[in-house]
Structure formats: structure tokens, C-alpha cells
Amino acid sequence: MALSASSSFLRGSTTSHDLKGFRSVRLLDKCLVPSVPGDSYLRTFLVKPVCAELKRSDSVVPLAATMVAPEVEDRIETEDYEKLAKEMGHASPLEIMDRALEKFGNDIAIAFSGAEDVALIEYAKLTSRPFRVFSLDTGRLNPETYQFFDTVEKHYGINIEYMLPDAVEVQALVRSKGLFSFYEDGHQECCRVRKVRPLRRALKGLRAWITGQRKDQSPGTRAEIPVVQVDPSFEGMDGGVGSLVKWNPVANVEGRDIWNFLQAMNVPVNSLHLQGYISIGCEPCTRPVLPGQHEREGRWWWEDAKAKECGLHKGNIRQEEVAQLNGNGNESAMDNDIFNSQNLVTLSRAGIENLAGLKNRREPWLVVLYAPWCRFCQAMEGSYVELAEKLAGSEVKVGKFRADGEQKAYAQQELQLGSFPTILLFPKHSASAVKYPSEKRDVDSLMAFVNALR
Ligand code: SF4
């Protein structure tokens, strides 16, 4: 149903009434002229993406900041995107795409992963507006995906603007941790280097981006995606919170409808789909799924299903679950913390030094030493916050101390930090802290520890 406008278009019944306010209807009709050889005609007359005019040797990254954008509206920052999302909640992907391209001109680009989000490129082509496409080449994609990029470029007559990771960062990662560290300590670090930072660089040259996120892709993290929103995680070229707009034209479309659309439009698809892959990412982190399995089960299958975002869409994860992007927290003002609760005391370095130095405390303290990017810390957040709620009003104080980055050495030397999370109880009448010895971090186990020692 969400594809109603484009479906009727496919049936040949699209009228100006169907797409009220949609300026490209007449041109769209030309897309289906059967006697015209599709590729060459489209490349010449319909699709004139900005990036198609680039030479391969051109630098594309600074381009976004320097090219003229004649159709961009002047007062983008005054737009109420929540209101717009509601207004466009039932619009077709084609209408949403058209609105996005019309509004942001050359300052917007489609993020293309090499999977079924090729539908976005097809929709963009159907608007007959110029459009840009970028993709993150992590260096770990399947050969089939690289082939597919080439096919898409030729099919649409575009040059995809590839964003590559920083070579020094990749080198440091693989030299220190090997090529498959994500199987050992989670995918966030590798994704941060190979995907998130290149994405951040790309988005800094834009004022808006277009994603292929759908609500049905990940029930845990994507259930509430609006068709347009102020990006909750990344900055655009103007800098600061709110400087980037994120369009999700297929948010309300179901996967099978995307496939029907691709088939009907004869759009090329990644050959991995024929091998059972649905969601496609990097080769070591993606696998085919069985019939009946959810597509996200084919991604980072060794990790907790709730945390299956690579960081590109971390705003989908609720605030208290976000901890994936910024490592030691020095990269961005939009860094997100965890263990956020009014019942928890955030201890500074001076605060925990004072606490640790007290010989006779007036009340016992339970403190978690954590790193917000650590998935084990993330996993225990719910139980720790619940514990803090239960202990609110009792004599036991519950706190947290962020012990990564420059605090790590101190925490290792003075606070028994081994790995994250480390939980310490500072008893009432003892100078020494007691380290929680168990891997069980449910509320009852933690409460038993507190009650035994307080
Ligand atoms: Fe690294 Fe896997 Fe993330 Fe790709 S998906 S960047 S290989 S962790």
C-alpha cells in the first residue's frame, strides 16, 4: 500500500491527480516508452545526476561543499520535520523522494549499501531530478557487491561517490587486533573505523541524506522510523545538532513490496540475493538466512539481536541503548552515555577518588566502571538502572564512573579495573572496595551482592 502511487504508475494509470503537487509526472511517463532502449535513453535524458559529470580522478568529498545548489530552499532550518513526517506519513516513496530532492538539490545524497536499497536510486531516477549517490566501501564487501556497484553505475549512468576508511586507522586496528576482531569483542570498533567515520565525513558535506531504512527490517531498532527527521546522530555541513536531515522514503514499505517494485521495474539486483542473502553488508559479517528467519539474523549473528545497528543509524537505538559510535567519547559533542537514570550518581575522577579515599563512609556505594561503547556494559544497563531504582531511598548509593580513555590507567591501577564493566562495592565501614566477582549481572544477583556486603 505504501507504494500506491508508484504502483498505479506501474499500471499506467498515474495521473496528475494521483501525484498532486508532484512536478515530474510527465517526465515519469517517458520512462516507460517501450520503444526506447532503456539505458542509453535514461542516461541521456532522464538521469542527470550531479556525480555523473565527474571524472574518476575528481575528488568528490569536497564537492558537496562547493557545488551550486540552485533548487535548495532558503529556510531549511525553519522546517518542522516532525510535522512534515506526519504530513508525509502516507505519501508514496516516490513522492517522498521527489520532495527530498526538490528541497535539498545538490546538498542531498542517497546512501547506497549495494542491496535492495537500489530501489532508492530507481525512485530518484523516476523523479527525473538530478541526484547523487554515495556508498561506504569498507574494504570488506563481497566481490558480488563490488560487481553490483559497477552494474548500477552503468545501468543508471552515474558515478557512485565511494567513501573509504582512513588507511591509518584501518592499519592500526588490524595490526593490533587482527582482521577478525569483531568476532571477539563486537563489531562496533571495526564498524566505527570502516563505516561510521567515513559516513561522518560524507555527511559533513551534505545537508540531508536519503536512506533505505524500513520499519520491518529490525523490530528492535527500526520500528519507529519516520519518513523524514532531523538526524539524531550526525552533523551536516552547517555543523551542530540539527544540521542534517535524514529522509527515509521506504520507511513504511515492506520488504516484499520493495522486491515487487524492483522486479516490475527490471532493476538490477545484487546476485547475493539469489544465494539467500537479504540484508547485505560486509562479507565476514553477513550470511544468508533461512526461509522464515528475519533478515537481520543474517547480520552480526553472534551478537545480541537488539544491538544490531552498525552505527550508521544509531539514532534508532533508544537513548539508553546507544553506546556504539564514539569510543572514548572525544569525537563528537553528540556522544551518548549509558546508565542514565536520576537514581544514579555520575562520578567524576575527583568524586571517585574521594569516595575511594574515605576510610569511614556514611553510606555504602555501588559503582560500575564502564565504557559506553562496551556491549557488555550496554547489556547490563537495564538491570543496573533497575537496581538503582530499587535502592533509591535506601542508604545504598548507586553510581557510575566512565573509566575508558584517559581514565583507564587510573582505574586499572587504583580501582581494580580488568575489563568492562567492573562493579565495585564500597562498604560502609571499610576502606577497601570489593569487586563483584560474577558474570551474572541480573538485578537479583547484584542485589544479593549488595546485601551481603553493605
Ligand atoms: Fe567491520 Fe563487519 Fe562492521 Fe564491516 S560489518 S565494518 S567487517 S565489523
Nearest CA to ligand 1 atom 5: 282
Distance CA 297, CA 288 (A): 9
Tens of pLDDT, residues 230-285 = 987 788 998 877 899 999 999 999 988 999 999 999 999 999 988 888 878 999 99
User: Phi and psi dihedrals of 134, rounded to 5?
Assistant: -125, 160
pLDDT level of residue 76 (50, 70, 90 thresholds)? very low
Cα–Cα distance list, 249 to 67, 105, 127, 217, 317 (Å): 25, 16, 13, 14, 19
- Is the shortest distance between the CB of 190 and ligand 1 below 6 Å? yes
Grid cell listed for 344: 544514579
Nearest CA to ligand 1 atom 8: 187
374 has catalytic annotation: yes
Mutate to test the pocket of ligand 1, among 113, 135, 138, 192 (most ligand atoms within 8 A of CB): 138
What pLDDT score does 294 carry? 66
What pLDDT score does 37 carry? 34
Exposure of 388 by Cβ count < 10 A (0-12 exposed, 13-18 middle, 19+ buried)?
Answer: buried
Q: Is the peptide bond before 249 cis (omega within 30 degrees of 0)?
A: no
CA 311 to ligand 1 center in whole angstroms? 11
Q: What is the mean pLDDT of residues 89-94?
A: 92
pLDDT level of residue 313 (50, 70, 90 thresholds)? low
Chain centroid to CA 169? 20
- Is the shortest distance between the CB of 192 and ligand 1 below 6 Å? no
Over 50: is that where the pLDDT of 4 sits? no
Tens of pLDDT, residues 175-213 = 999 999 999 888 888 998 999 999 999 999 999 999 999
Distance CA 115, CA 295 (A): 12
| Of 454 and 284, the one with more pLDDT | 284
Over 70: is that where the pLDDT of 154 sits? yes
- Single pTM value for the model: 0.57
Among candidate residues 51, 191, 282, 374, the one labeled active-site is 374
Q: Which residues contact 433 (CB under 8 A, 6 or more apart)?
A: 356, 367, 415, 416, 424, 425, 426
- Is the shortest distance between the CB of 200 and ligand 1 below 6 Å? no
CA 267 to ligand 1 center in whole angstroms? 27
What pLDDT score does 1 carry? 36
Terminal-residue alpha carbon distance, the chain: 59
Distance CA 74, CA 299 (A): 40
Mutate to test the pocket of ligand 1, among 140, 193, 196, 312 (most ligand atoms within 8 A of CB): 140
Residue pair 167/145 in contact (Cβ under 8 Å)? The answer is no
Instruction: Provide the strand spans (E) within 200-308.
Output: 208-210, 228-230, 245-247
CA 377 to ligand 1 center in whole angstroms? 21
- Is the shortest distance between the CB of 220 and ligand 1 below 6 Å? no
Give the three-state DSSP class for 408. helix
Grid cell listed for 74: 532558503
Distance CA 158, CA 160 (A): 6
Mean pLDDT of the chain: 77
